[in-house]
Amino acid sequence: MSSNVDVQKALSHKFAEGKASYNRRDAILYALGVGATDLKFVYELDDSFSILPTYPVVLGQKGASCDIVPFGANMELPGINFDPMMILHGEQYLEINKHPLPLHANWIARPKIIGVYDKGKGALVLNETKFIDQTGDTVVRTVSSIFIRGIGGFGGEKGPSENFEPPKRNPDAVQIEKTLESQALIYRLSADYNPLHIDPMVASMASFPKPILHGLCTFGFAGRAVLKHFCGDNPAKFKAIKVRFASPVYPGETLITEMWREKSRVFLQVKVQERNVVVINNAYVDIIGEPLSVALAQSPESEPPVLKSAIVFEAMGQAIEKHPDIAKKINAVYQFNITGPHATTYTLDLKNGKIYQGPPVAPTTKPECTMTVSDDDYFDMATGKIDSQTAFLKGKVKITGNILLAQKLNLIQQAAAKL
């Protein structure tokens, strides 16, 4: 057995109870750190002001401090000798057992190592923390999966292997959000002061070209997406969330959260639009009660929901098959972010003569013109019920990128209308 890992010592260690506290300001700062702008989560005087359900995930590092907590100060792993620079956050689980989360709290934190597994190239350590309120109830339970590179091969158990693959169908909901270039600078103030997320030299030492976004920040974006589409932004419906961190995110990149509802569980994955890389997988959110939004009437065996505007994209696809010269004449790549109950994304890759559901994929990785419009409004625009220019002026359609390319789409839409 490796001298770096003493499994029995780690599992039998009794940690001292700690303290964990937060107030409304802490919760608001966290909400901003994970991209929230809804007043319900960022304005303390809003009538429905609430704590984002993913917020308690930071309390294991924050504790009761109101100041900066030195990185690694609360990272005690008895029986395991390791270099903090060799640590990767593998998975994260959070479960809320008592709703609603209070607007301020003073809890007891009870940490425990519940698993140490040999993964060959490294050791996998499971850290559980229970947060106890004044009545003695466990309000929140978290489990962090930490992979420590370079100390595997100690002859321990390999550990359980769980897979939470989404259904083989189109997502029931898609949320697309661009992170800020300063996203990590804001998020770190919620108690994750790992220099990897701010210091270019430390990032370089860890073999990254620049500081990366916190995995738990992406975790927060994903949680908000499910909260919006399947809980009606009601935190009381949010029971638990589990994710696996598959790849890093760089601040400023665009996150695409795809969601599939199966009864009271919403499977999800998160991709980076610019690189078409999955950054969160093996993930789900458990919700309480009947899910809201797109999945209300959908059973696991039913067909995926159909957009009203789907027939418009289908007609445009037929048009470029029949008139490939139109695609060549336009010669541009468009992305449509269709919002509404059946939110999704369509790509018009007129450089390669393709129209398909989903964000741009290789060989095309970046749209030149992006339009965001509701399903109803785009259907009405395409069928002539709403004038496109009027819709733009009234804010019904938002265009980023080369706005002049939007006008060229009339060529293909006119051809589709004649089919």
User: From CA 52, how far away is CA 233, in angstroms rounded?
Assistant: 9
Active site residue 197: yes
Contact partners, residue 207, CB within 8 Å, separation at least 6 = none
Between CA 84 and CA 26, with CA 195 as vertex, the angle to 5 degrees is: 110
Q: Please pick, among 151, 152, 197, 342, the residue that the annotation labels catalytic.
A: 197
- The two beta strands, 138-149 and 87-96, are antiparallel
Active site residue 241: no
Q: Which of 321, 325, 319, 368 is nearest to 347 (CA)?
A: 368
Q: Please pick, among 146, 212, 280, 412, the residue that the annotation labels catalytic.
A: 212
Active site residue 317: no
Q: How far from each other are the two terminal CA atoms of the chain, in whole angstroms?
A: 71
Q: Please pick, among 6, 172, 192, 380, the residue that the annotation labels catalytic.
A: 192
Q: Which of 272, 258, 164, 140 is nearest to 215 (CA)?
A: 272
User: From CA 319, how far away is CA 377, in angstroms rounded?
Assistant: 21
Q: Please pick, among 90, 115, 156, 215, the residue that the annotation labels catalytic.
A: 215
Active site residue 212: yes
- The two beta strands, 265-272 and 122-132, are unpaired
* Catalytically active residues, by annotation: 192, 197, 212, 215
